[in-house]
Structure 1
Amino acid sequence: MPTLFLPNTMESWLKESGAVGLDGLELADFPDTGRGVKTLRPFKEGEKILTIPSSILWTVEHAYADPLLGPALCSVQPPLSPEDTLTTYLLFVRSRESGYDGQRSHVAALPTSYSSSIFFTEEELEVCAGTSLYTITKQLEQSIEDDHRALVMQLFIQHRDLFPLDKFSIEDYKWALCTVWSRRMDFQLRDGKSMRLLAPFADMLNHSSEAKPCHVYDVSSGNLSVLAGKDYEPGDQVFINYGSVPNSRLLRLYGFVIPGNPNDTYDLVLSTHPQAPFYEQKHKLWVSAGLDSTSTIPLTLTDPLPKNVLRYLRIQRADASDLAAMALQNAKADEKVSDSNEVEILQFLVESFGHLLGGFGTPLEKLEEQLAQGVYSPGGNAWAAAHVSLGEQRVLRLAKKRAEDLLSAVESGSSQSPLARCANCGKASTQLSLCGRCKSVAYCGRPCQVAHYKGHKATCRAPAS
């Protein structure tokens, strides 16, 4: 049996390795967040409270520099992703009987299980059916199996002496993957490169939106430092800020949610097939507007219908005359292209948002009632999934209401340019042509008039003189 290391052994290793600030901090269990970091003395906002030296950070570079693991990793072509490199590094250290005592003390202090959505039962996940989390989790379940299978074939089987398969199973892989997801720190460096790392002890810090962003990576030394994100008194829990993260991402990566999260979003994916009419012309317009033919646009509680959604759809639904006018004016679809185009996209949005809301497993009001009645155990997986569903439904309802209000305003128009609808296709415009005989119906063009005539001719009568 490998030796199990207690957290205080990890702290001893950290101090011996040059970590600074541990005398003012300690690991502790808190009622709301579980394991976290407690202050032993006061700290002022901005004060450096902890530094983890470069030598003991978990990084891709350190994995490749390991005398045993590095050569095995180098044998894999193309190279593993940073995520798979770090997960393999964690499992490799955890599997060793000796020689990695310090790092193994860190691994031993990590949670033995996680509450990420990939560990939900089917019944628990069904509570958030219709959400982006549900879709992504289903996709992840398959991709994780595929990625693990590839690791087995490309690396583990090729180096059985380093990777005993009973310690590198799919369940082991999922544990290491969730460790990386929930505890990694990402930094964008000045040269445009990015750095992903795990920092022992610092990875025990929990999230609070009340704390300012407070962890920094020193490129020159390679050290990771944590500053006080706010003032602390002895006995307070120290927090870092993960950023403005919606519940769907918090639950998928970190295994928790924030009830009533103000950062909840719904990612709206807009796409156009390359064989659609005028695709090349429209693609150039999307690019000029800072978009692409497939664009993912987050809808938020504060901006449920962003301008980029309207920009994208104005271009997507533009006909030949709309495109000609836009090209002539060098327009980027910041304003409506035409009344008919605007009505068409807003009708589409209202219908689409309604369809999306109808796809949720449990409507918002029923979920709120169930939560109030304690149907879901507070803090449990189903309870967390319910909060994800609540957040996304609230965003979509706001988006639908916004689209309805805009549609109503466009359809009412001004007294100088009232809107009418084509009797055949229903397209609204101020530029319709009346039937030359009865003057009672209008069309957006000759093709619609011809298509509609078979059904219209029975009632088409010249107006009485």
Structure 2
Amino acid sequence: MESWLKQSGAVGLDGLELANFPVTGRGVKTLRHFKKGESILTIPSGNLWTVEHAHADPLLGPALRSARPPLSVEDTLATYLLFVRSREESGYDGLRSHLATLPTSYSSSIFFAEDELEVCAGSSLYTITKQLEQSIEDDYRALFVRVFVQYPGLFPLGKFTIEDYKWALCTVWSRAMDFVLPDGKSIRLLAPFADMLNHSSEVKPCHVYDVSSGNLSVLAGKDYEVGDQAFIYYGPIPNSRLLRLYGFVVPGNPDDSYDLVLATHPSAPFFEQKYKLWVSAGLDSTCTISLTLTDPLPKGVLRYLRIQRLDESDLAAIALQQTDAATEGKISESNEVEVLRFLVDSFCHLLDSFGTQLEKLEKQLADGVFSPGGNAWAAAHVSLGEQRVLRLARKRAEELLSAAESGSGDVRGCANCEKIPTQPMLCGRCKAVTYCGRACQVAHYKRHKAVCRAV
């Protein structure tokens, strides 16, 4: 692949080579010193796998462009990969040399055996993987009917099976790069050789797409010495997503999270009034809010539930205030207690639904029950991360509930961050809201001033 890329104008390959590493496996090794921010690799536009290039292919393009409805970006790139892999005639040698470097199998969660996936039963990964398995089957059947059987000469069915399709999808999920363009549109692409760079949270975002040239460049995310492994940064991704898309986990991942789904049916009482309040709060009637290790109970969760549980008298009082900031903080003692009791009960239920509780998983990992690096081991780390986040969320909700039930204004949550202040500070004007300190008061002022002036 390196010789093909050099001939096509790729820059930087003389300073890099593919190599095997003890923990991460196949990756990119540096052959010289690089300073942080220095360009280490550039792949020309003509060597990238993109929807545009797939549509421009003289054989494949007409088939893709004729599909109705149009294929998704994922399906287009997956079909492009399988099409090139199936060709034997000249004209695709360069692209096929790239395919030869790709894994023949993946360790994404959709390939787990049932007993391996059961290790993380109760986690979001377990639920999403089950849904994905069905979704992939449905998408493959649709692609089969809309494209493959329409052009049998292009798509020999023996090389376009559902297993081939799953391989191609995982190639796109684990190796594609996404960029937002200046016009707000986005582009997804696969870049030969650059896709061999592994992820590390120790480097900063360091791969860039040049809109004018269409080239993909990788910069050094830190200083590298000769023989180091070069990395790129995928972003702050929790283990559940890392395992689903990329097939690996980071033990003790600081970016672990739990996506909490909040929803209200349109037939619920006072839905229209509440919907307007949700919109004014930057929310919707159905919201997915990430709980994280650093912010296990985001204020958006509380604000959503406060609105959801408004009764007729609460709505009337808010209407009289005629301000969007009316639902910014606690609405009433009864509303707050109801919301927090619901949250504590919900977090307890979610934690009870995990097939293996946190302490048992920790012991199993410590005792070597799961083979390190194996599928069950990875699933255990996903479950651990989500349970830790949910336990922190439950603890925060219990603290807020205790404060609300005590009726002590000195221990109510900060109006800006919802945390319980160690040294509470009241708004000097209205004395009605509490802050952690000056920084939270300043951050909250624009939202609070309308209510403060009305008091």
Normalising by structure 2, we get a TM-score of: 0.89
Decide which of 39, 42, 63 is 2:33's aligned counterpart.
Answer: 42
**SS of equivalent to 2:150:** helix
Distance, in Å, in 2 between the alignment partners of 1:12 and 1:309 is: 54
1:403 is the counterpart of 2:394: no
Aligned to 2:61: 70
Number of aligned residues: 407
Distance, in Å, in 2 between the alignment partners of 1:415 and 1:235 is: 60
1:347 is the counterpart of 2:341: yes
Q: Compute the displacement of 1:354 (Å).
A: 0.2
Distance, in Å, in 2 between the alignment partners of 1:167 and 1:284 is: 52
Aligned to 2:49: 58
Decide which of 199, 202, 210 is 1:210's aligned counterpart.
Answer: 202
Distance, in Å, in 1 between the alignment partners of 2:181 and 2:253 is: 30
Q: Compute the displacement of 1:324 (Å).
A: 1.7
Alignment of 1:162-311 (within 5 A): 162-311=154-303
Distance, in Å, in 2 between the alignment partners of 1:40 and 1:98 is: 35
Root-mean-square deviation (CA, aligned residues, Å) is 0.9
Distance, in Å, in 1 between the alignment partners of 2:4 and 2:137 is: 35
Amino acid at match of 2:363: E
Give a deviation string over 1:235-285, Cα, whole Å, max 9, x none. 000000000000000000000000000000000000000000000000000
Q: Compute the displacement of 1:415 (Å).
A: 8.7
Aligned to 2:444: none
Q: Compute the displacement of 1:78 (Å).
A: 1.1
Alignment of 1:106-117 (within 5 A): 106-117=98-109
Give a deviation string over 1:41-72, Cα, whole Å, max 9, x none. 00000000100000010000000000000001
- Please say if residues 39 and 234 of structure 1, whose CA atoms lie closer than 8 Å, have aligned partners that are also in contact: yes
Amino acid at match of 1:36: G
Compared CA separation, residues 101 and 404, structure 1 to 2 (3 A): same
Decide which of 4, 11, 21 is 2:12's aligned counterpart.
Answer: 21
Distance, in Å, in 1 between the alignment partners of 2:223 and 2:318 is: 54
Decide which of 109, 113, 125 is 1:133's aligned counterpart.
Answer: 125
Distance, in Å, in 2 between the alignment partners of 1:61 and 1:162 is: 19
Compared CA separation, residues 27 and 415, structure 1 to 2 (3 A): closer
Distance, in Å, in 2 between the alignment partners of 1:332 and 1:101 is: 64
For structure 1, list consecutive stretches of 5 or more residues without a partner in the other structure.
1-9, 417-465
Distance, in Å, in 2 between the alignment partners of 1:191 and 1:373 is: 53
- Please say if residues 51 and 224 of structure 1, whose CA atoms lie closer than 8 Å, have aligned partners that are also in contact: yes
Distance, in Å, in 2 between the alignment partners of 1:332 and 1:73 is: 52
Q: Compute the displacement of 1:334 (Å).
A: 1.9
Aligned to 2:422: none
1:312 is the counterpart of 2:293: no
Give a deviation string over 1:97-122, Cα, whole Å, max 9, x none. 12200000000110000000000000
Give a deviation string over 1:263-308, Cα, whole Å, max 9, x none. 0000000000000000000000000000000000000000000000
- Please say if residues 180 and 198 of structure 1, whose CA atoms lie closer than 8 Å, have aligned partners that are also in contact: yes
Aligned to 1:358: 352
Compared CA separation, residues 311 and 14, structure 1 to 2 (3 A): same
Distance, in Å, in 2 between the alignment partners of 1:240 and 1:202 is: 9
Amino acid at match of 2:383: S
Distance, in Å, in 2 between the alignment partners of 1:114 and 1:328 is: 59
1:85 is the counterpart of 2:49: no
Amino acid at match of 1:94: R
Distance, in Å, in 1 between the alignment partners of 2:94 and 2:38 is: 28
Distance, in Å, in 2 between the alignment partners of 1:370 and 1:382 is: 11
Distance, in Å, in 2 between the alignment partners of 1:272 and 1:11 is: 54
- Please say if residues 307 and 334 of structure 1, whose CA atoms lie closer than 8 Å, have aligned partners that are also in contact: no
Aligned to 1:432: none
Distance, in Å, in 1 between the alignment partners of 2:408 and 2:384 is: 38
Normalising by structure 1, we get a TM-score of: 0.87
- Please say if residues 245 and 263 of structure 1, whose CA atoms lie closer than 8 Å, have aligned partners that are also in contact: yes
Give a deviation string over 1:158-200, Cα, whole Å, max 9, x none. 0000000100001000000000000010000110100100000
Decide which of 370, 374, 380 is 2:364's aligned counterpart.
Answer: 370
Structure 1 residues 406-415 or 40-49, which shifts more?
406-415
Amino acid at match of 2:228: D
Distance, in Å, in 2 between the alignment partners of 1:402 and 1:212 is: 31
Decide which of 378, 384, 390 is 1:390's aligned counterpart.
Answer: 384
Aligned to 1:6: none
Amino acid at match of 1:288: S
Alignment of 1:5-20 (within 5 A): 10-20=1-11
Aligned to 1:414: 408
Distance, in Å, in 2 between the alignment partners of 1:82 and 1:134 is: 25
- Please say if residues 286 and 312 of structure 1, whose CA atoms lie closer than 8 Å, have aligned partners that are also in contact: yes
Distance, in Å, in 2 between the alignment partners of 1:333 and 1:228 is: 46
**SS of equivalent to 1:386:** helix
Amino acid at match of 2:106: Y
Give a deviation string over 1:377-404, Cα, whole Å, max 9, x none. 0000000000000000000000000000
Aligned to 2:443: none
Distance, in Å, in 1 between the alignment partners of 2:205 and 2:396 is: 33
Distance, in Å, in 1 between the alignment partners of 2:396 and 2:342 is: 13
Q: Compute the displacement of 1:332 (Å).
A: 4.9
Q: Compute the displacement of 1:333 (Å).
A: 2.1
- Please say if residues 285 and 332 of structure 1, whose CA atoms lie closer than 8 Å, have aligned partners that are also in contact: no
User: After TM superposition, what 4+ stretches of structure 1 lie above 3 angstroms from structure 2?
Assistant: none
